[in-house]
Structure 1
C-alpha cells in the first residue's frame, strides 16, 4: 500500500508533462472545499450559535434568578459584577463564582 502511494506521487518520466493542467488542479481542490463546508455546517456554525445563546443568557442574568452552574450547583443570584456572580446556595451561605460558569437559568 505504501509503495502504491509513492508510485502515484512520482513525477512522470520521459519529460512528458503529467496531469491535465488547470482543470486537474481545480478537481483536486473540490474535495477540500466540500470537506470545509461539511465541517462548517456540522461543527463550527452550531458551536458559534450555542456560544451566542450562552452570552445572551449571561447578559440577561439578574439578581434573584435561580441558576445552575457548570458544576451542577444550584443557587439564587444575590449579587452581580462584571465577571463574578454571588450565589446563595443555602440560607446564609454565599458562594462567589465566575459568571461564565453559569450553565442555565431555572424556569419556575
Structure 2
C-alpha cells in the first residue's frame, strides 16, 4: 500500500469515518483501532494491520502515534498467510471432513 502514495492509508484502513477529536472538534487525519487482546485488558493489538517492517522499525513508527509514545510492545506484527481448503471436495455439509468424521473446519484457518 505504501507504494501507492502518501495518502493511501488515510483513505483506506485508517480513514477516520464518523470520528471527531473531542479536544479540537476536528476530524483526525487518520486513525488506528486498538482491540483488547487478553482477558486482563492490559494488552491491545492493532486491528487490520499486517506489515513487513522489521520489529525495530515497527516500534519507531508506532511510537509516532499520539498516546503510544511510551508503549511497551510485547509482540510485533507480521504478514500472515491464510490456508484454504477445497470445501466442496473435502468437507461434508456439516463441516466434517469426508475422511475423518471427528475433524471439523470452520472460520479462518
Q: Same fold (TM over 0.5)?
A: no
Structure with the higher helix share, 1 or 2: 1
Taking structure 2 as the reference length, the TM-score comes to 0.17
Structure with the higher strand share, 1 or 2: 1
Q: Which has the higher contact order (CA 8 A, sep 6+)?
A: 1
